[in-house]
Structure 1
Amino acid sequence: MSNTQPALPEQDRPVATMAGHWLLAKLGKRVLRPGGRELTQRMLEAARIEGHDVVELAPGLGHTAREIVLRKPRSYRGVDSDPAAVAQVNKRLGLEGAVVHADAAATGLEAESTDVVFGEAMLTMHSDRAKQTMMAEAFRVLRPGGRYVIHELGLTPDGLPEEIKREIQMALAKSIKVNARPLTNTEWRALLEGAGFEVTEETQFAPMRLLQPKRIVADEGLGGALKFAGNVLRMPDERKRVLDMRRTFTAHRDALIAVGIVAVKPAAPSE
C-alpha cells in the first residue's frame, strides 16, 4: 500500500493568499475548530450519534469524522466541495466512498435520509444568504426529529454594534484570507429557526483561543504542539501569517467566541 498522502487543499497556493485554516494544517495543526477539541467533544455528545445515520458537512482533514465513526453510528457519510479533502478523509477513515464530492448547499443526498447533520466552522465562511441555503439543505436531508449540530465562530454580546461587527469581519478577511461572517448567538439561532428548525437547548460557548499556546497544547497534545511550533519557527513566510492571525484574534478576543448549537427538525404532526 502506498504511503503517499493526498495533497492538502490549497497547498499549491502562495502562502500570502492561502486560507488560514489550510495554512495551519500545512504547519501540522490538526484541530482547526474555533472552540477547540473540547467544544467539538461536547457537540458530539449532544449529537447522540451511536446507532444513528450521520452526515458531516465539510469534514476537512477528517479528524472529527474519525471521532464520529468511533462513536458507532449506524452509517457515516461526508460531503465536501474539495476533491483533495474528499480523498484525504476517505483514506483516513478507510471507508472508500464514505465522503463524496458535493456542495453543502446541494448535497445530492436523499430527502429525510439521515438522523444527524454535523458541521463545524463552515457556515461562518459564507454570507447569510449562503448560510440559509445550507441550513435549508440540512433541513431537507434530516428525518423529522433529526438533529442539526453546528460548531461555529460567534460574536458577543448579542447587541454588538454593527460597526464593530464590520470591523471584525474586515480584520478577519485580511488576516485569514477568507470572508468569514461570524454571528451573535441570537443571529445564529434566528437563521436556524428561519430554516424551520427548533432550537430548544441552550447554546454552548467556548473562548476562541485557536492560536494561544495553552489551547494548542490542549488540542494537539504536547508532541503535536511542539511539532507545530517547530514548523512555524523554521518557515518565515508562514510564521508571518500565523503571527498576524494571532494578533487579529487577540485584538478582538473580547468579541470573538465559539458557539455550539443543536437544532431539531420538528417531528411530523400526528394524523
Structure 2
Amino acid sequence: MNERNSTMAATSIEQSKLPQADRGAEHMQGHWVLAQLGKRVLRPGGEKLTKRMLAHVTIAGNRVVEFAPGLGRTTRLILNAGPAGYIGVDRDEQVVKIIGPLAASVGGTCINADAAQTGLPDESADMVIGEAMLTMQSERGKHAIISEAHRILKPGGLYAIHEMGLAPDELDDSIKDSIRKDLAHAIKVNARPLTAAEWRAVLESEGFEVLWSGVEPMALLKMRRNLADEGIGGVLRIMRNVLTHPDLRARVLEMRRVFNRYGDALTGIAFVVRRKD
C-alpha cells in the first residue's frame, strides 16, 4: 500500500466512532475497552502469532475473505501482500465503516453480515482469515462459522484462524469451566477457548485438514507484548488513557487479574487448515 493510502487508512480509524462507544465502560466488551484506550493489536497471541500464521499462506494473487477484521491491523498486512480480491465481513456497522475505506483503497470491500451467514457465493474464496472471534462463540456458533468458511472456500482453499487456547490438552474440565466463567465476567463475552486438541477436532469435523498450528503466550496486557505490538508511542498513549479514564481502568485491572490468575493455562493459538477436495 502506498504512503497516501496508509495515511488515509490510519486517519479513518482515528475519526470513526469505535464499536460500543455508546455503552458505559462496565457493559463494553473487553476488546473494545482496550480499543477505547488506544490499543490496536487485540489478538490473543499478538502480532507475532498473526505474522507467523500469515507466513504459512500465500495471499498474493488470491481472493481473500476476512471474518471480523476489527480495527484493520491484520487487514493492512493482507492488503499489503497483494491479494487478487478482498472482502471483509463484520456484523458491526462501525467496523464496516473503519474497514470499508481501507479495503476500497485496493479495490476491496467490507460487508455488514454475520460470519455464519455471509451471503457470499459458494466456493468464491481462495482463503478465509479470522482472528479472535471463534473464541467468543458457543460450540454451535463455532461450528456454524467454520462451516460457512468451508462453504465459501474453493476445494483446497485455506482457512487461517488465530484464537484463544487452553493448555495442556489434558486440562481438567473444572478448571476449564472456571476459566470460562471468569473470562465471561471480566470481558463481558461468553468466551469459550479450547485446547489445541479441541480446536483441531472442531476444524476437522467441518471438513478441514490441519496444515500448521502455532502458539504464543496470551500476554495481551503484558508490557513486553505491548511494546512489541504497539511501540513506545502506542504504549504511552495507552498508559495516558488508562490514567485519565478510571472507568476503563477498572475494567482493564479486572481483565488483568483474570489473565494473571490463569496465565499458565491461557495461550494464543493459530491454525492454517485446508478444505478437503
Common topology (TM > 0.5): yes
Q: Partner amino acid for 2:100?
A: N
Q: What SS is found at the alignment partner of 2:22? A: coil
TM superposition shift of 1:92:
3.5
Does residue 223 of structure 2 align to residue 227 of structure 1?
Answer: no
- For 1:166, the equivalent position in structure 2 comes to 177
- For 2:197, the equivalent position in structure 1 comes to 186
RMSD: 1.5
- For 1:43, the equivalent position in structure 2 comes to 53
Work out which of the residue numbers 84, 99, 120 in structure 2 matches 1:74. Answer: 84
Name the CA distance, whole Å, in 2 between partners of 1:266 and 1:91: 34
Q: Partner amino acid for 1:178?
A: V
Q: How many residues align?
A: 266
Matches within 5 A, 1:244-263: 244-263=254-273
Q: Partner amino acid for 2:93?
A: P
Does residue 69 of structure 2 align to residue 30 of structure 1?
Answer: no
Does residue 253 of structure 2 align to residue 243 of structure 1?
Answer: yes
- For 1:136, the equivalent position in structure 2 comes to 147
Name the CA distance, whole Å, in 2 between partners of 1:136 and 1:93: 25
Name the CA distance, whole Å, in 1 between partners of 2:263 and 2:148: 32
Distance 1:33 1:73, change over 3 A: same
Q: Deviations over 1:204-235 (max 9, x none)?
A: 00000000111111100110011111110111
Name the CA distance, whole Å, in 2 between partners of 1:71 and 1:97: 13
- For 1:12, the equivalent position in structure 2 comes to 22
TM superposition shift of 1:67:
1.0
Unaligned runs of 5+ in 1: none
Q: What SS is found at the alignment partner of 1:47? A: coil
TM superposition shift of 1:140:
0.3
Q: Partner amino acid for 2:101?
A: K
Q: Partner amino acid for 1:204?
A: G
Q: In 1, are the aligned partners of 2:161 and 2:270 still within 8 Å (CA)? A: yes
Matches within 5 A, 1:48-63: 48-63=58-73
TM superposition shift of 1:141:
0.3
Q: In 1, are the aligned partners of 2:85 and 2:108 still within 8 Å (CA)? A: no
Q: Partner amino acid for 1:209?
A: A
Name the CA distance, whole Å, in 1 between partners of 2:247 and 2:68: 27
TM-score under structure 1 length normalisation:
0.95
Q: Quote the sequence identity (%).
A: 52
Name the CA distance, whole Å, in 2 between partners of 1:97 and 1:112: 18
Name the CA distance, whole Å, in 2 between partners of 1:78 and 1:209: 27
Q: Deviations over 1:56-113 (max 9, x none)?
A: 0000111111110000011111100001100111133444760000000000111001
Name the CA distance, whole Å, in 2 between partners of 1:123 and 1:200: 19
Name the CA distance, whole Å, in 1 between partners of 2:199 and 2:273: 11
Does residue 96 of structure 2 align to residue 86 of structure 1?
Answer: yes
Q: List structure 1 segments (4+ residues) > 6 angstroms apart after TM superposition.
A: 1-4
Name the CA distance, whole Å, in 1 between partners of 2:111 and 2:120: 10
Q: Partner amino acid for 1:247?
A: R
TM superposition shift of 1:48:
1.4
